[in-house]
Chain A
Amino acid sequence: MKKYMMFHARECPHCRKMMPVVERLEKEEGIAFEKLEIWHDEKNADLMRSFKSVLAPQCGGQLRTPTFFNTETNMAICGEVPYETLKDWAKK
């Protein structure tokens, strides 16, 4: 089963903009993202760091927010993206 994660940060403007996009995708496609805040929750930060070898090469070589991660396919997409782009990524 696909598992979707969204690594985000409280003071990241891109993350704030993407929240309603994610919520729309969840509602329209019936999927759920596990939303993990990484600057104020050390457990979540460690979890993101544990995926560094998978996430960083897909995100400019760094751990960036927001990062959307499918733990089944190991595919990630980062930053502010249009709804259709996120939807296409989620369906892969």
Chain B
Amino acid sequence: MKKFWRCFVCNDIHYGVKPPELCPTCRVLNAYVEISAGEARRMMGLPAEGGFSREKFREAIEAFAARNEFRVNPDTERVDTLLDGLAANEEKHGLRYCPCRLITKDFAEDSKLVCPCNFLVHETYKGVEQGECWCGLFVRRS
């Protein structure tokens, strides 16, 4: 069954049975995370329909992290808090914007805040042994 996938680095959208191993645009390996049809539509400037449930989103980010050098934070209380914020932002603003940053109302700029975002460049992650994305949803595997 075909699904929607988004590159967490450059936000390219792929529709297919499997995610591309190598992003054709930014050339990052294992960068695709499964997203809802609603998020794919919103990222393409269309009205959102068909969002993921909280559990489906959790499954998607777990599967995405399993292919990478990072994992979903084992601090379940923190993760639950962040999932609450992501769900609230999706309901109010149409996309799962990071609960620890604020949208600017510039769509192109704000698309960089959709979770999972390109946290590989965050100073809290890049080159940091115990690195994590800004909000702490993803942490580098030790």
Contacts and interface: CB of A to CB of B under 8 A. Distances in A.
B88 interface: yes
B131 interface: no
B84 interface: yes
Interface residues of B, number: 21
B82 A65 contact: no
A49 interface: yes
Interface of B: 78, 81-82, 84-86, 88-89, 99-102, 104-105, 113, 122-124, 134-136
8 contacts: A9-B85, A9-B100, A9-B102, A10-B85, A14-B135, A14-B136, A16-B81, A65-B101
Nearest to A42: B92
Contacts, number: 59
B85 A45 contact: no
B123 A60 contact: yes
Contacts of B89: 39
B42 to A, nearest CB: 18
The CB with the most chain B CB atoms within 10 A, among A9, A10, A52, is that of A9
A48 B135 CA distance: 18
